[in-house]
Structure 1
């Protein structure tokens, strides 16, 4: 059973990226949020201590942030 912290944040869709970054890292101190524009290429590996934080041109989160 996993007990290491929260794994996804659907409530952050539409939030400002800086607020979302702080929230993710506060709610699961085992991960690092990595902001990235929604249309930018990213490494496709799975990483258990990273959360891709996709944001749109207006600086708001556009996809559900998830560990991996």
Structure 2
């Protein structure tokens, strides 16, 4: 699957533990880097088509829809 035609967001992983979400994202898009961060983390604003940020709550569960960027 090419990086331009693959899935770009994962609403189905909201509420899952970060490790399970990361595995699902990488199963769909093995060409991306998954970065797990706490909600509210400061991040750069540049778009990166090979990155998916996964924001987690204090319990380590996905709090927002992960998406390419």
Alignment TM-score, normalising by the size of structure 1: 0.91
Distance 1:53 1:28 in 2: 14
* 1:26 positional shift: 1.1
* Residue segments in structure 1 that go unaligned for 5+ positions in a row: none
**Residue equivalent to 1:15:** 16
Please state whether the residue corresponding to 2:68 is helix, strand or coil. Answer: coil
Please state whether the residue corresponding to 1:43 is helix, strand or coil. Answer: coil
- Deviating above 2 A after TM superposition, structure 1's stretches of 4 or more consecutive aligned residues are none
* 1:17 positional shift: 0.2
* Residue segments in structure 2 that go unaligned for 5+ positions in a row: none
**Residue equivalent to 1:62:** 63
Alignment TM-score, normalising by the size of structure 2: 0.90
